[in-house]
Amino acid sequence: MNKLPRSFYDRDTRLVAQELLGKFLIHKSGGVERVGKIVEVEAYLGEHDLAAHSSKGLTARTKTMFGPPGFAYVYLIYGIHHCMNVVTEREAHASAVLLRALEPVKNLEGRTCGPGLLCRAINIDRRLNAHDLLSSEFFIADPEAAEKFSIVKRPRIGVDYAKHWAKRQLRFYIKDNPFVSRR
């Protein structure tokens, strides 16, 4: 499979988000290779985006978001679940794409619809924060055969506190895909 280059991530976040749909997320751990097709994402546009963690500025947690593109930003939410993001655009732009759902392709365990479930199924936790997505055991790749699909745009989930930013259509998913977390 064709691993996505750094330049893929170093572009407009909304564009990267939509182009990540249909791509394969690969994680090799404990001698097992797990693969899922990305079917739902959300874009977080940077420090000015009130829904983005980076809107609070550079902190210990958000350091990865302020780093260069093509790295994983993984954090613990509600003390229970992990969320996996891909850092986009130039260093210090502090933007990222949250992966919300996968369609199982290989060795995924349990459900994969929703950011927390997705991380559990493909064995991602915060030890993978700041991990390079151009590495050999954790990366995103183009599938062998690209499929045709329509992209649905909706407001992001769970960001009602973000004032007008909560209304922006920055959630993208593959139309009619059964693994999308919620209609």
Partner DNA sequence: TGCACGATGAAC
Partner DNA sequence: TTCATCGTGCAC
Binding region for DNA (CB under 7 A): 42, 44, 51-54, 56-57, 59-62, 65, 73, 75-81, 83, 85, 96, 98, 111, 114-118, 156-159, 161, 181
Q: Is the dihedral of CA 79, 81, 86, 89 positive or negative?
A: negative
Contacts of residue 183, Cβ cutoff 8 Å, sequence gap at least 6: none
Min dist. Cβ of residue 139 to DNA (A):
19
Min dist. Cβ of residue 95 to DNA (A):
9
Min dist. Cβ of residue 7 to DNA (A):
22
Q: What is the DSSP letter of 179?
A: T
Min dist. Cβ of residue 41 to DNA (A):
9
Residue 83 CB neighbour total at 10 angstroms: 21
Cα(94)–Cα(37) distance, rounded to whole angstroms?
25
Q: Between 143 and 152, whose beta carbon lies closer to DNA?
A: 152
Q: Between 51 and 128, whose beta carbon lies closer to DNA?
A: 51
**What count of residues does the chain have?**
183
Q: Between 2 and 12, whose beta carbon lies closer to DNA?
A: 12
Cα(3)–Cα(9) distance, rounded to whole angstroms?
12
- Pair of tokens at residue 149: 């699909």
Q: Between 5 and 57, whose beta carbon lies closer to DNA?
A: 57
Q: Between 8 and 66, whose beta carbon lies closer to DNA?
A: 66
Cα(75)–Cα(69) distance, rounded to whole angstroms?
17
Min dist. Cβ of residue 161 to DNA (A):
5
Cα(161)–Cα(98) distance, rounded to whole angstroms?
18
